[in-house]
Structure 1
Amino acid sequence: MGSTTAIPKEEGLDHTIELLKEGYEYIPNRMRQYDTEIFETRLLGKKAICISGEEAAELFYDTELFKRKGVVPGRIEKSLFGEGGVQGLDDAAHRHRKAMFMSLMEPQRLHVLDEITKEQWEIAIDKWKAMDTVALFHEAEEIMCRVACRWAGVPLWAKDLELRTKDLGAMIDAFGAIGPRHWQGRRARTRSEKWIAYIVRQVRTGNLTADEDTALYQIAWHEDLNGNLLDIKTAAVEILNILRPIVAIGRFVTFGAVALYENPEKQDKLIADKEDYSQKFVQEVRRYYPFGPFLGALARKDFNWSGYHFKKGDMVLLDLYGTNHSPKIWEYPDVFWPDRFSEWDGSPFNFIPQGGGDFEMGHRCAGEWITVQVMRTSLKYLAGKIDYDVPAQDLSYSMLRMPTIPKSRFLIENVRRA
């Protein structure tokens, strides 16, 4: 083994409290403090090596060096991800399950998704015209719940819409939470898994017919590498891995509305959409506003990287927020500037709002294309299909709350068609 450099280390028994106090800025703050892109700390009683930047992301997504099984803390698994889902698989099992998810991203299915999204925005606009005040975040989550269920082939009764929206939203809201928000997320997951498990049973017994192109059908009848159907609970978890991320788009849509309000000169450009401007605008929303703070993996073996030594079993955290705001990667990183994506090189490692790496073989979010498409359609509606007034409110967002959202949830009034 060649000589190595000691990894900068944050002294102390545990720094979970500091993480909660600093939120998205916890890792970037220490990167600046130590003038590095790597440091060691302790979180939840365990050693963790934090890394940031494009080269760090490329390392993190090397599946020969890192694995995902066993990395997600139980509290997050029992609220956000569920147990047995694709996020915790590795190697052949992961590739096989991931291929099933990627098969749902065919162009025709994405076209269907786009049409459903437009239809649901039309319905929402008619509803909002009769409302005195609209809290866009809550309404956007409801739109996304309808879109998700319709596209996935999951039956959703009108009487259950509010409950299902709140439950899917609560799972998302729980991932960086302690106390009431965490427990709400856990209860929401229990209810949601029971709901979807019942539907899967109905499909398998022939009491419910599902379209073969939908996620419901594909996951209900998906076979593992041994030719066995997924158990009912795992199938429910994976269907929720379709529904929940689409509902999460409601946060990005809300931040997109804030960006339009605070940058009104960009509205006409978004409507005209010359040179694919809506794509650039959406990508900048995803880069600029905080969503996921970091991701974790476990070292498969001892290895050296950039002069640092990693041991088998080391927990490694990739800094998403810091990488997306790194001045080494992005010019004027704290400025909202969609045109920066005119020159973006398309690297899967320097722009990582939902993770990075390879879609087909790696752990990059399979639903990223869904996120971008639904955001483009949604923000075009907000920019060009409706007019509305924005009353005085607090549009700031906490960098401590994970996931964050504007404090006012973005209120609009006097909604009318443009």
Structure 2
Amino acid sequence: MNEQVPHDKSLDNSLALMQEGYLFIQNRVDRYESDLFEARLMGQKVICMSGQEAAKVFYDSERFQRKGAAPKRIQKSLFGVGGIQTMDGKAHIHRKLLFMSLMTAKHQKRLAELTIEQWQASISQWEGAEKVVLFDEAKDILCRTACDWAGVPLKESEVKERADDFSAMVDAFGAVGPRHWKGRRARNRAEEWIRGVIEDVRAGKLGAEEGSALSAMAFHKELDGSELDTQMAAVELINVLRPIVAIATFITFSALALHKHPECKEKLQSGKSDYLEMFAQEVRRYYPFGPFVGARVRKDFSWNKCKFNEGMLVLLDMYGTNHDSRLWENPNEFRPERFEEWEGSLFDFIPQGGGDPAKGHRCPGEGITVEVMKASIDFLINKVSFEVPEQDLSYSLVKMPNLPESGFVMKNIRRK
């Protein structure tokens, strides 16, 4: 029992988590004036923590492991059962190097180029449309882009269904009931599809360009020299494709930020490349994406007057750390200029996790996210003009994950 650590009074916080969403941890950090507290979720004792120092501890692989942290319901919708997010130690580092090899500057550049081509190709259809919902378009565009870049064959008639499935897996993260089951069904369909593609490559029925994500996953060798089984190769290839499609959320929030902050739009039109980078990073910091991340205590230790017992579940507050007033001046203001002075700490800015991506569990695709966002923001500002009709652009911090309610409707779209 941690006597010196605040304990949330509720018998079980699961309902409160559903009712408070992204702010669940932050609300209690503020209430107890403590960076960590104990709570009960789904009947088990959990330590919740927030802030830069907490992130440093959380990403110490001597103290924490991922095995047993992601509930099966999240593996069966978002990550895939047994995927890289649930691995530890040497096996994790070996598998992580496979992902890192697909996320190099060269791959980032190629994905950004393909994204631009897809946006450009869409303009002629949009010009004749009464209205366009940006989130839906971005999802389809990024699905085409991801599959083209990865070497995965995708018929035009399949694009919408595949994009919707990737999106449904992400949407199931914080959901119970119909949204969760929709995500599970989407994952089953996607795994069946990608398993078939991997089998065709291995049987020589389908070519896979060397260096492509498809080739890398189909022929990856584990530490013991064995190939990934077909199911695991499919899970990991989906773990490359799905996050690229999920960038549609950041693109939609980018459009919302441009609409709400016309002064940013003017600066972006002036063509300063560093401001485009700062703007993309501020979108990732300010708007809701990942709420928190979980791990299990590897072995007993104490930190900040709190005893962490082996096997205990710990949640790190990503959203709260990105809005921590000790790290970010006026954190609830949207201000890209704050990234002028930012020194690139691995633990104060964690929209897709913290720590070193090569050694730990931070998302290796952050560079891809930023480059695809920059290409898309530049397109929305400099390649098309459009009107933003009256619509519900609100988003709730309760629903996890989240999006502007309308998906960002655009009309009267014209090529510039």
TM over 0.5: yes
* Higher mean C-alpha displacement, 8-17 vs 176-185: 8-17
Query: Is the CA contact (8 Å cut-off) linking 1:5 and 1:307 kept in structure 2?
Result: no
* Distance in structure 2 (CA, Å) of the matches to 1:414 and 1:176: 35
Cα offset, 1:5, TM superposition: 6.0
Q: Paired residues, what number? A: 415
Return the letter of the residue paired with 1:133.
K
Query: Is the CA contact (8 Å cut-off) linking 1:54 and 1:349 kept in structure 2?
Result: yes
1:224 matched residue in structure 2: 222
* Distance in structure 2 (CA, Å) of the matches to 1:353 and 1:120: 26
> Does 2:354 match 1:344?
no
> Does 2:103 match 1:105?
yes
**TM-score w.r.t. structure 2 length?**
0.98
Q: What secondary structure, in the 3-state scheme, does the structure 2 residue paired with 1:362 have?
A: coil
1:310 matched residue in structure 2: 308
2:123 matched residue in structure 1: 125
Return the letter of the residue paired with 1:45.
G
Cα offset, 1:162, TM superposition: 1.1
Cα offset, 1:6, TM superposition: 2.0
* Distance in structure 2 (CA, Å) of the matches to 1:307 and 1:326: 21
Q: What secondary structure, in the 3-state scheme, does the structure 1 residue paired with 2:194 have?
A: helix
* Distance in structure 2 (CA, Å) of the matches to 1:55 and 1:323: 10
Query: Is the CA contact (8 Å cut-off) linking 1:171 and 1:189 kept in structure 2?
Result: yes
Q: Deviations over 1:228-275 (max 9, x none)?
A: 110111100000001100010000000000000000111122233426
Q: Deviations over 1:268-301 (max 9, x none)?
A: 2223342611110000000000011100000011
Cα offset, 1:11, TM superposition: 1.9
* Distance in structure 1 (CA, Å) of the matches to 2:292 and 2:4: 23
Return the letter of the residue paired with 1:126.
S
Q: What secondary structure, in the 3-state scheme, does the structure 2 residue paired with 1:206 have?
A: coil
Pick the aligned partner of 1:58 from 52, 56, 66: 56
Q: What secondary structure, in the 3-state scheme, does the structure 1 residue paired with 2:350 have?
A: coil
Q: What secondary structure, in the 3-state scheme, does the structure 1 residue paired with 2:405 have?
A: coil
Q: Deviations over 1:135-168 (max 9, x none)?
A: 1111111111111111111110011111101101
* Distance in structure 1 (CA, Å) of the matches to 2:108 and 2:388: 32
Q: Which runs of 4+ in 1 moved over 6 A?
A: none
Cα offset, 1:45, TM superposition: 1.2
Return the letter of the residue paired with 2:206.
L
Q: Deviations over 1:171-215 (max 9, x none)?
A: 011100111110000000000000000000000000000111110
2:158 matched residue in structure 1: 160
Q: What secondary structure, in the 3-state scheme, does the structure 1 residue paired with 2:385 have?
A: strand
1:416 matched residue in structure 2: 414
Percent identity, aligned pairs only, is 53
Pick the aligned partner of 1:210 from 193, 208, 211: 208
* Distance in structure 2 (CA, Å) of the matches to 1:357 and 1:79: 25
* Distance in structure 2 (CA, Å) of the matches to 1:96 and 1:395: 43
* Higher mean C-alpha displacement, 125-134 vs 181-190: 125-134
* Distance in structure 2 (CA, Å) of the matches to 1:305 and 1:368: 29
Pick the aligned partner of 1:82 from 63, 80, 83: 80
Return the letter of the residue paired with 1:159.
S
Query: Is the CA contact (8 Å cut-off) linking 1:66 and 1:298 kept in structure 2?
Result: yes
Pick the aligned partner of 1:42 from 11, 16, 40: 40
Pick the aligned partner of 1:333 from 326, 331, 334: 331
Cα offset, 1:347, TM superposition: 0.3
* Distance in structure 1 (CA, Å) of the matches to 2:125 and 2:303: 55
> Does 2:5 match 1:7?
yes
Query: Is the CA contact (8 Å cut-off) linking 2:279 and 2:336 kept in structure 1?
Result: yes
1:362 matched residue in structure 2: 360
* Distance in structure 2 (CA, Å) of the matches to 1:328 and 1:314: 28
* Higher mean C-alpha displacement, 262-271 vs 380-389: 262-271
Pick the aligned partner of 1:199 from 197, 200, 217: 197
* Distance in structure 1 (CA, Å) of the matches to 2:46 and 2:410: 43
Q: Deviations over 1:43-67 (max 9, x none)?
A: 1111110010000000000000000
Query: Is the CA contact (8 Å cut-off) linking 2:50 and 2:316 kept in structure 1?
Result: yes
For structure 1, the 5+ residue unaligned runs are none
Q: Deviations over 1:83-139 (max 9, x none)?
A: 121100000000000000001122222222121111111112222112111011111
Pick the aligned partner of 1:93 from 88, 91, 94: 91
Cα offset, 1:322, TM superposition: 0.4
**TM-score w.r.t. structure 1 length?**
0.98
For structure 2, the 5+ residue unaligned runs are none
2:237 matched residue in structure 1: 239
* Higher mean C-alpha displacement, 126-135 vs 282-291: 126-135
